[in-house]
Structure 1
């Protein structure tokens, strides 16, 4: 019996690799992508970067302005994530199979989460440009909507997995709905939810660079400005500050995760 299962899994794996391989070949043919030219261009790209894309002593004069824009981007990312997390928790409680009020509210909450989660932040940025134009508000709401969809889904799964037994125990004693939420759901899920929020903050800081390119705000716009004006030394300094900030945020979030989990 186990041999048959192993053989079936092997056939399915081979079939999957075959489908992926065929899809790759068809994509190359349709797009007329030159694979050989793509690989041979890598050394040239590295050589150009080493020759042009590095900060100089003159570019360091722009560092204070870059740090101001970086701070703006970090604050927008954190604010969008934390506000989205609060709203996502409410929708997750209503959408979870463990704590939903009724089937109608549960379906509505899950449907909203699926809708927002499957629209990329770049798409939100382009849509919101028509309402707010190129401004920090556009970047904030783009990150907010993307965070809300992802966190709602993550919180729903967390509530269903972590607090199911304790919720049933409290409900069996006749506890009210708010008591169940405050005494069971929040205490049992808060560490995992904080971990999801930290992950979303890291993701949003990365996404904020792309959002800034589209919305004309933050560190992304600063990079785009210097890169298009051929000031590659300053543009490289912007990239370095982004990388350092992401590494610092990741270090902090990993430390917090180790403390709470």
Structure 2
């Protein structure tokens, strides 16, 4: 019986790999992608980057301005994530099977979160450009909507996994709805929720660079400005600053996770 089970898993895995290979082959044919040329061009690209795309002593003059734009990007990302997390917590409580008021409100909350989650932040930025133009506010709302959708789904799953037992125990003692929320759901789910928020901050900082290209703000716009003006040394410095910031944020995030989890 066990041998048949593993044989079936191997057949399913093989079928999936064959289907994936078929889709890849079709994509190569449809897009007329030259695989050989793609691989052989890598050494030339690396040689060009090593010969042109590196910061110089002259580019360091631009560092204070780059740092200012980086700080702007970091603040917008953190603000969008934390406000989105607050809204997501409310919708997650209403949408969770453990804490929902009724099935109707639960379905509405999940549906709204699904819509926001399945629209990429870049798409949100392009949609919002019509209303707010190229500004930091456009980037903020794009990151906020993306964070709200993702965190609502994550918080719903966290609440269902972390607090179902304690909620049932409190209900058996006759505790009220808000007493259950504040004395069981939030305390038991908070460490995992904080972990999700930290993950979302990291993701938004990366996404904010792309959003800046569309909204004309932040560190992404700074990179685009120098790259298009052929100032590759300054553009390389911008990239290094972004990488350093992401690594620092990730290190802090991992430390906080180790402390709270």
Say whether the fold is shared (TM-score over 0.5).
Answer: yes
Alignment deviations for residues 119-155 of structure 1 (CA, whole Å, 9 cap, x no partner):
1000000000000000000000000000000000000
TM-score (norm 1): 1.00
CA RMSD between the two structures = 0.4
1:176-235 CA distance string (max 9 Å, x none): 100000000011000000000000000000000000000000000000000000000000
After superposing on structure 2, the runs of 4+ consecutive aligned residues of structure 1 that deviate more than 3 Å are none
What is the rounded CA distance, in whole Å, between the counterparts of 1:39 and 1:22 in structure 2?
20
The 2-side partners of 1:57 and 1:3 are apart by 65
Secondary structure, aligned partner of 1:249:
helix
Cα deviation, residue 49, structure 1: 0.3
Partner Cα separation in structure 2 for residue 3 and residue 197 of structure 1 = 43
Q: Which secondary structure does the structure 2 equivalent of 1:56 belong to?
A: coil
Count residues with an aligned counterpart: 261
Could you say which residue in structure 1 is the equivalent of 2:15?
A: 15
Match of 1:241 in 2: 241
For the residue of structure 2 that corresponds to 1:201, the secondary structure is helix
* 1:18 shift after superposition: 0.6
Structure 1 position 160, deviation (Å): 0.2
Unaligned runs of 5+ in 1: none
In 2, Cα distance between the equivalents of 1:215 and 1:150? 22
Partner of 2:60: 60
Q: Compute the displacement of 1:13 (Å).
A: 0.5
Q: Which residue of 2 aligns with 1:199?
A: 199
Alpha-carbon distance between aligned partners in 1 of 2:139 and 2:85, rounded to the nearest angstrom: 17
Q: Which runs of 5+ in 2 are unaligned?
A: none
> Aligned residue for 1:142?
142
Once the two structures are TM-superposed, the CA of residue 106 in structure 1 deviates from its matched residue by 0.1
Q: Any idea what the Cα deviations from partners look like across 1:2-43, whole Å, max 9, x if unmatched?
A: 011111111101100010000000100000000000000000
Q: Distance in 2 between matches of 1:239 and 1:171?
A: 53
* In 1, Cα distance between equivalents of 2:220 and 2:128: 17
Query: Where do 1:86-97 residues align within 5 Å?
Result: 86-97=86-97
